[in-house]
Structure 1
Amino acid sequence: MTTIDLNADMGEGFGPYHWGADEILLEYVSSANIACGFHAGDPHTMRIAVESCLNRNVAIGAHPGLPDRLGFGRREIAVTPEEASDFVIYQVGALQAFVQATGGTLRHVKLHGALYHMAAKDERLSSSIVSAIQRLNPELMLYGPPGSQLQYAASAKGVRYVAEGFADRAYLPDGSLVERHMPGAVIEQPEMAARQAITLTDEGRFQSLCLHGDTPKAAEHAKHIAQRLKAAGISIQSP
């Protein structure tokens, strides 16, 4: 049977602000990427997200981003490789502490937003970030786009890489994502997202598919995608 990991970004509220449909998403996904406090999240939110994942047997990943709450980590900031490495160690280390304190295991790292895309294109950034992950825990997997600088760095340093596609983002013919400020960049119809999930799985390039927990129809997307994948004989499970 064909298998695919279905991951979602979670724990993206902070303080009195609650964001996303995490509890519903956990019914359908196999892996979660938990915000670590820079673009979103705080200690209380991180702990709750970790506990929720453990209760649902969902694999836990860290979702570190740039220090930019106002822009939700989606604006590029000029950072050095050393700064990027420190950001990742700081955030992943914090979430790793919550996971260990709760009796779980941190399974992977997935960069957030602008940091994800910057590192995917920049050899020095990707090399520094992968080295940071390796120093933290060489067993951690790294999620990212196929054929990117992140994948090359992970391969060179012996870090297991999970190639990721996006069920709820539009792609250009060259395989890159449509930039978020462009019309139609985010797929809003659950049925369209489900069809894209099937198409990306059938391509065979991806081991994981992401759906964004901060979109208004995230819960509907998750339900439709999970149902369509299973109907197509595709099993949803973490790497």
Structure 2
Amino acid sequence: MGVTINCDIGESYGLYSFGNDVKIMPHIDIANVACGFHASDPSVMHKTVKMAMEHGVSIGAHPSLPDRQGFGRREMEMERNELRDLLIYQVGALKGFLDAEGVALNHIKPHGALFGMTSKYEHCAEAAADVSEIFGVPLIGQVGTMHDTVYTRRGLLWWPEFYADLEYDEGCRLIITREHVAYEPEAAAARALRALTEGVVTSVSGNDMPIRFETVCIHSDTPGIETVAPTLRDALAPYID
């Protein structure tokens, strides 16, 4: 029953700082680095890559819809070829910094509304799968969605995830919000541990639903995440791969 902790990170840009990456990085296994479309910039991307390397953290791309004002958490209508090109552009940008530092790209995980779109719409999931094949790396997704249907059908390696700091609806679908609310560290850790050991998550309506995953996600912009991260790490330590 092995598991990893991944984090959406490197989401500052210019003079604007979001999240406490320095305090989060020691407690995660996988970094999903923003690629400049919802957040980040070239210098932040490079700095985040080097910080992850210092902590032995695997590095993947966290591409988004072109929506800085909405932090990539608003849907946009895009065709498969448009979305494929959007992803290639962003993943390629991060890979440039990885190549500069001599480290491999580990995976791809779409951000925010784009993650939701790839989970709901087949053509979006196909675009993500196309880019996974182009770069030869796994995707991160969610069971019981188009991720499961498309990625599995195409024989791709992908890792289902659980969100420690977001809620689920009655269909066990992720509720993606524009802004994240604070989570009590112990509550987030207990929620993730129960999901891992019992295979269930409680929906916003209070019903338990089955869930399966291989990695647990936290967000660098969740208030108080610098406290949640080490608490979550301690709780899951016996199960960390």
Question: What is the TM-score when the length of structure 1 is the normalising length?
Answer: 0.91
The structural deviation recorded for 1:112 is: 0.2
Counterpart code for 2:16: Y
Structure 2: 5+ residue stretches without partners = 200-210
Distance 1:178 1:108 in 2: 23
- Give secondary structure in 1 for the equivalent of 2:89: helix
CA distance in 2, matches of 1:200, 1:6: 14
Does the aligned pair in 1 maintain the 2:87–2:128 contact within 8 Å? yes
Q: What is the deviation of 1:169?
A: 1.0
Corresponding residue of 2:159: 162
1:174 & 1:194 partners in 2: Cα distance? 22
* CA RMSD, 1 decimal: 1.6
In the alignment, which residue of structure 1 is the partner of 2:184?
189
Runs of 4+ in 1 over 4 A off after TM superposition: none
After TM superposition, the structure 1 stretch with the greater mean CA deviation from structure 2, 166-175 or 35-44, is: 166-175
Change (3 A) 1:181 1:37: closer
Rounded to whole Å, the distance in 2 between the matches of 1:119 and 1:35 is: 17
Distance 1:179 1:127, change over 3 A: closer
C-alpha distance in 1 between matches for 2:239 and 2:140: 20
**CA 1:28 to 1:181, structure 2 compared with 1: closer, same or farther past 3 Å?**
closer
Q: Counterpart of 2:81 in structure 1: which amino acid?
A: E
SS at match of 1:26: helix
Alpha-carbon distance between aligned partners in 1 of 2:173 and 2:126, rounded to the nearest angstrom: 21
The count of residues paired between Structure 1 and Structure 2 equals: 229
Report if aligned partners of 2:73, 2:178 keep a CA contact under 8 Å in 1.
no
1:226 alignment partner in structure 2: 233
In structure 1, how many angstroms separate the alpha carbons of the residues matched to 2:182 and 2:13? 26
Q: Check the 8 A contact 1:33/1:62 in 2, yes or no.
A: yes
Q: CA deviation at 1:156?
A: 2.4
> Which among 164, 171, 177 is matched to residue 174 of structure 1?
171
Match of 2:196 among 176, 194, 201: 201
User: How do 1:1-239 residues align onto structure 2 when only pairs under 5 Å count?
Assistant: 2-135=1-134, 137-138=135-136, 140-180=137-177, 186=181, 188-202=183-197, 203=199, 205-230=212-237, 233-235=238-240, 237=241
What SS does the aligned partner of 1:87 have?
helix
Task: Answer whether contact 2:60 2:108 (CA < 8 A) is retained.
Answer: yes
Contact 1:143 1:164 in 2 (8 A): yes
Q: 1:228 to 1:38 in 2, by over 3 A?
A: same
SS at match of 2:162: strand
Q: Is the 8 A contact 1:89 1:133 kept in 2?
A: no
Give unmatched runs, 5+ long, in structure 1. none
Q: Which amino acid aligns with 1:162?
A: W
- Tell me the SS of whatever aligns to 2:188: helix
What is the TM-score of this pair, normalised by structure 2? 0.90
Task: Provide the C-alpha distance between the structure 1 equivalents of 2:52 and 2:132, rounded to a whole number of angstroms.
Answer: 22
Aligned-pair CA distance for 1:50: 0.3
CA contact (8 A) 2:113 2:176 kept: no
Q: Deviations over 1:109-159 (max 9, x none)?
A: 000000100111101111122112211x22x11001112112322222232
